[in-house]
A and B are shown apart, each in its own frame.
Chain A
Amino acid sequence: MVASEEILKEAARLRREFSGDIHDRLTEAIYADAVEVAGRAVARTGQPRRMHFELFCDRVLTSRVWGFPVMILMMTVVFWLTIAGANVPSAMLASLLQGTVYEAMHEVARAAGAPWWLAGFVIDGVYLATAWVVSVMLPPMAIFFPLFTLLENLGYLPRVAFNLDRLFKRAGAHGKQALTMMMGYGCNAAGVVSTRIIDSPRERLIAIITNNFSICNGRWPTLILIGTIFIGATAPPALASFIAATSVVAVALLGIIFTLLVSAFLSRTWLKGEASSFSLELPPYRPPQIWQTIYTSMIDRTLIVLKRAVIMAAPAGAVIWLISNINLGGSSIAEHAVHFLQPLGLLLGLNGVILLAYVVAIPANEIVIPTILMLTLNVAKSSLASTGVMIELDDTAQVHHVLTGLGGWTMLTGINLMLFSLLHNPCSTTIMTIWQETRSLKWTTVASLLPVALGIVVCFFTATMARLLGLI
């Protein structure tokens, strides 16, 4: 077909003349034409008040000036409600599960004459880890997820995606990455799967690699707890929840900044290319169906995430108990591991227990905090047992007491744990998902190790700065 080859050649020549902006010109022309036709056909009668109101909302929520402040404000309010609301039920659950039920179980075991190792393995290991996960995670999740789902159903999240699109485009990434990032706030594995909506393989890889910077379900409770006891507690009581919420928002925003920086870095180095354009609908605002939302977010998110956490916590509890109670040369495996990791941990402004906890918690981020607490208690047990101190961790103040008293934590440890919680390897489910989606050992490795590397650099930086400035 000589004729068609000639046409193609001519098209290629003309294309070069337009230097690649045909798509944008076209999109604008089509829209201008549509506006013209619609303008002739549509007449507005009556009082279209609702439409005006929606337009006004969109102007504010997606405005260049107000868009981001409103977004930060919304996030702060959501976390403030979560933190302020979760305190009391968390304490009640803890005193029930770690207090009453825990003691009752030990009494039953004593009465039944169960050997110490069996009672220890089952009650101090498997049960306690599970109870921790439930009392630490259930109340914040039960408040946070319905609030988040309400925002989603109101139609606010697409506006956030719209605001972020500009930034992603500047970072050389696909605007839809704003959506996959949102999905990652639920679960990174789901976020990675959701990158299928991005068609360009280059932009999709960027979205997959950076998805881990979206704080997932498993990490929100860690941030909320540490933000509450280390940062909120430094403020006057009236402001404590608000300051704690601000610190969580700050970490989440830092995650967005890292997403953009790493995207920009990748799109200028290994994954070079232009950002492609797409349409994003700003759906009409809909009054959310509150009860249905609460019900579905309880079932869909809270219980499912909790179930996963419990399934992961039970074996982790078993592992923690075993490594804390099997002795090699006078001290337990956990103590050996903690001592081995301690120098690196301290260098990063963390400690050996935290690093070990992150190794134990590779299957699920949800169990980081329970693991840290149990390891801290177990490693310090030898000294405790002699003094006969009885510890009841039935409120957050006690958690603070254990971490600072027994674990030697400082403000820096708290802050760096929050940073490390943002910047560390994805959980094993996410790593598997990345492998399934990319089928590339190279990119799976990059996606797994890049965040840890960043975490180490950032934590080392803050720790060094804090030391140089004499803050600790």
Chain B
Amino acid sequence: MSARIETAGAAAATCGACSSSCNTSQLTRLGIKSGGWDYVVALMGNPNTGKSTIFNSLTGLRQHVGNWPGKTVARAEGAFNYNNKKFKMVDLPGTYSLLSTSVDEEVARDFVLFGRPDVTIVVADATRLERNLSLTMQVLEITDRAVVALNLIDEARRNGIEVDERALARDLGVPVVPMSARRGEGVSELLSAVDNVAQGAYPTRPRRIKYRDAKLEAAVAALAAQLESAVGGLPNARWVALRLLEGDESIIRAVRDGTLGELGRSDTAVNLTQLGAS
């Protein structure tokens, strides 16, 4: 491994030094203790893609296992240092999509939407790319700061599957890191990509899903435009518009009580009392 992963405590940075947005109170509500890190990294992916292996190889023994507040869904948190910065890592439940409303999907989706991690790593199984891209592209609708960890690349090669990661990165608009977490290959490249995206050194242009349906596309565009004018700077207006079209209760609530509005103003710390008791 060429990258240097420093030990705990080596970097004594505080949140005050955040170069990115601080979304402290929302994170607190999601059960993340504030302070002590520079960036928050979320880890997502389909089940059975080696998500846990990646989590373990990045965080080592610096892990904390618990539950999501008020949910029976298990959660693991860890931390790692890279380039003199402290990264807090949250392992989200493995899901196939963010569309239906299972508790796992809700937990994962809410963390990316409201917790607004600085970087979201989406682990994709290179041997089953189509299915894994379906989740990846849904994540890219919510956040533009993502890195795709193209895992199991060795198994894909063994099965005669070659993935052109540069073409993929071009299409998705975010870094794609081929890796084999089991063998520790690609871990340093992943760290550097995460660091680049966190610092804004890699300009992401996430792909937007084409809905291939003029009527749906028109409805989404109209609603998204209204949302953008009401809530300036919303990074995922199209996605929110779709959820509203679907009648997603928790998103409707977030629009109504202003939680979503706060997300638009990335530099303001969210006032906890505005969030309501949801």
Chain A residues close to B by CB (< 8 Å)? 1, 3-8, 10-12, 14-15, 17-18, 22-23, 25-27, 29-35, 37-38, 40-48, 50-51, 196-197, 199, 276-279, 281, 283-284
Kindly list chain B residues whose C-beta atoms are within 8 Å of the C-beta of A44. Answer: 160-162
Q: Knowing that A37-B172, A279-B96 touch, tell me 11 more A-B residue pairs with CB under 8 angstroms.
A: A4-B230, A7-B227, A8-B256, A10-B222, A11-B223, A14-B245, A32-B212, A33-B137, A38-B133, A46-B160, A279-B97
Cβ–Cβ contact B223 & A14, under 8 A: yes
Cβ–Cβ contact A34 & B134, under 8 A: yes
Q: Which residue of chain A has its CB nearest to the CB of B164?
A: A41
> 1/0 per position for B62-98, CB-CB distance to A under 8 A?
0000000000100000000000000000000000110
Q: How far is the CA of A29 from the CA of B102 in the complex (A)?
A: 21
Kindly list chain B residues whose C-beta atoms are within 8 Å of the C-beta of A278. Answer: 100, 102
Residue in A10, A23, A48 whose beta carbon sits within 8 Å of that of B161 in the complex: A48
Q: How far is the CA of A22 from the CA of B241 in the complex (A)?
A: 12
B278 contacts partner chain A, Cβ-Cβ < 8 Å: no
Q: How far is the CA of A268 from the CA of B27 in the complex (A)?
A: 43
Cβ–Cβ contact A283 & B211, under 8 A: no
Chain B residues close to A by CB (< 8 Å)? 46-48, 72, 96-97, 99-103, 127, 129-131, 133-134, 136-138, 159-165, 167-168, 171-172, 207, 209-213, 215-216, 219, 222-223, 226-227, 229-230, 241-242, 244-247, 252, 255-256, 258, 261
Q: Which residue of chain B has its CB nearest to the CB of A46?
A: B160
Q: How far is the CA of A450 from the CA of B211 in the complex (A)?
A: 46
Cβ–Cβ contact B130 & A43, under 8 A: no
Selected A-B contacts with CB under 8 Å, 16 pairs? A7-B226, A18-B219, A29-B209, A29-B216, A33-B137, A37-B133, A40-B168, A42-B163, A42-B164, A46-B160, A48-B159, A48-B161, A51-B160, A199-B100, A279-B96, A281-B46
Q: How far is the CA of A303 from the CA of B96 in the complex (A)?
A: 35
Kindly list chain A residues whose C-beta atoms are within 8 Å of the C-beta of B215. Answer: 17-18
Q: How far is the CA of A45 from the CA of B103 in the complex (A)?
A: 40
Q: How far is the CA of A23 from the CA of B242 in the complex (A)?
A: 10
Q: Which residue of chain B has its CB nearest to the CB of A4?
A: B255
Cβ–Cβ contact B48 & A281, under 8 A: yes
Cβ–Cβ contact B131 & A34, under 8 A: yes
Q: How far is the CA of A81 from the CA of B241 in the complex (A)?
A: 56
Q: How far is the CA of A38 from the CA of B131 in the complex (A)?
A: 9
Residue in B127, B171, B222 whose beta carbon sits within 8 Å of that of A40 in the complex: B171
Kindly list chain B residues whose C-beta atoms are within 8 Å of the C-beta of A7. Answer: 223, 226-227, 230, 244, 255
Q: How far is the CB of B194 from chain A (nearest CB, A)?
A: 21
Kindly list chain B residues whose C-beta atoms are within 8 Å of the C-beta of A276. Answer: 100-101
Cβ–Cβ contact B160 & A47, under 8 A: yes
Q: How far is the CA of A44 from the CA of B244 in the complex (A)?
A: 40
Cβ–Cβ contact A26 & B252, under 8 A: no
Q: How far is the CB of A122 from chain B (nearest CB, A)?
A: 45
Cβ–Cβ contact A43 & B164, under 8 A: yes
- Known contacts A32-B212, A33-B210: does B256 contact A22 (CB below 8 Å)? no
Q: How far is the CB of A354 from chain B (nearest CB, A)?
A: 41
Kindly list chain A residues whose C-beta atoms are within 8 Å of the C-beta of B159. Answer: 48, 50-51
Q: How far is the CB of B133 from chain A (nearest CB, A)?
A: 4
